[in-house]
Amino acid sequence: MLDWTGIDLTALWLTLKVAAWATLIALVLGVACGHALARARWPGRRWLAAALTLPMVLPPTVLGYYLIVLLGRNGPLGGWLLSHWGITLMFTWQGAVVAATAVAFPFVFISARAAFEGVDARLEQAARVLGAGEFKVFVQVSLPLAVRGIAAGTTLAFARGMGEFGATLMIAGNIPGKTQTLSLAVHDAVQSGNDALANALVVLISVVCMLALVASSHLLNAKPLSTATP
């Protein structure tokens, strides 16, 4: 039924590496965008928020196509990378990181934005009256009070990044040992009729994602600090 001996540890290691990098980048970008939009009141903020959430709901193939257009040899970013630095992201594990980052980002962005919106604005005002500049308000008040929501979103982002398939396939391909992540390996195992290997991979991925979801709900259900005092 299960064939643990056939599991290619390279795929597991690559999956974790790609997901970890993608989560880290999504964390930085998601917190920055979530904070910027949490207190925004200017027109157009809804459109920007929708655009930033789009990778979550777009078909992965559409997202992958966008990334190819952007990062391909003739794309604006891909062409620049190639002509100035001589590098390309197509069919590399770094390309897989880009794909996973794009799908993981909205999870951090949405939860960070909600978490920053949930911070009592009077606490930020109190900090300013006490002489704090905006950077100090962010690192000492807003961020610590929003950290649980951000952590919960980040866990989901990691799980989503681990499971990324469609956009990864389009931009990084499916090269065993180089860009073949676990979800691509499952696809190959099924296609080649290796059910025992597919079963083992599926169980492995399910367990890791289950753990991430439980961790995320723990973080969200913990008593929020900002309501601990009236």
Partner 1 sequence: MKISVDITLAVGRAPQAFSLAAQFASHAARVVLFGPSGAGKSLTLQAIAGLVRPDAGRIVLGERVLFDSAAGIDLPARARRVGYLFQEHALFPHLSVARNIAFGLLPALPWRMPASASAKVARVMEQLALHGLAGRRPHELSGGQRQRVALARALVCEPDVLLLDEPFAALDPALRASVRSELEGIRQRFGVPMVLISHDLDDVRDLADTLVLFEPGRVAAVAHAQPADPGALLAAARASIAHAQPQPRPITHAS
Window contacting partner 1 (CB under 8 A); options: 11-19, 34-42, 206-214, 221-229: 221-229
Judged by beta carbon, residue 19 or residue 115, the one nearer partner 1 is 115
- Find the binder of partner 1 among 58, 132, 209, 220 (CB under 8 A): 132
Q: Is 210 in the site for partner 1 (CB under 8 A)?
A: no
Nearest Cα to Cα of residue 168 among 153, 154, 189, 182: 182
The b/e string for 175-204 (b: 16+ C-beta within 10 A; e otherwise) is eeeebbbbbbbbbbbeeeebeebbbbbbeb
The single residue among 31, 141, 167, 200 that binds partner 1, judged by CB under 8 A, is 141
Any contact of residue 120 with partner 1 (CB under 8 A)? yes
Which of 184, 159, 43 has its CA nearest to residue 108?
159
Cα-to-chain-centroid distance, residue 137: 26
Residue 86 vs 133, nearer CB to partner 1: 133
Minimum CB separation of residue 114 from partner 1 in Å reads 18
Among 139, 203, 214, 222, binds partner 1 (CB under 8 A): 139
Q: What phi and psi values does residue 75 have, to the nearest 5 degrees?
A: -75, 160
What's the alpha-carbon Rg for the chain, to the nearest Å?
20
Q: Which is nearer to partner 1, 84 or 122 (CB)?
A: 122
Residue 140 sits in the site that holds partner 1 (CB under 8 A) = yes
Q: Which of 130, 177, 191, 193 binds partner 1 (CB under 8 A)?
A: 130
Tell whether residue 186 is a contact of partner 1 (CB under 8 A): no
Q: Which residues contact 180 (CB under 8 A, 6 or more apart)?
A: 8, 10, 11, 14, 174, 188
Q: What angle do helix axes 93-117 and 9-38 make, rounded to 10 degrees?
A: 40
In whole angstroms, how close is the CB of 149 to partner 1 at the nearest point? 14
Which residue ranges make up the site for partner 1 (CB under 8 A)? Answer: 120, 122-123, 125-133, 135-136, 139-141, 144-145, 225-230
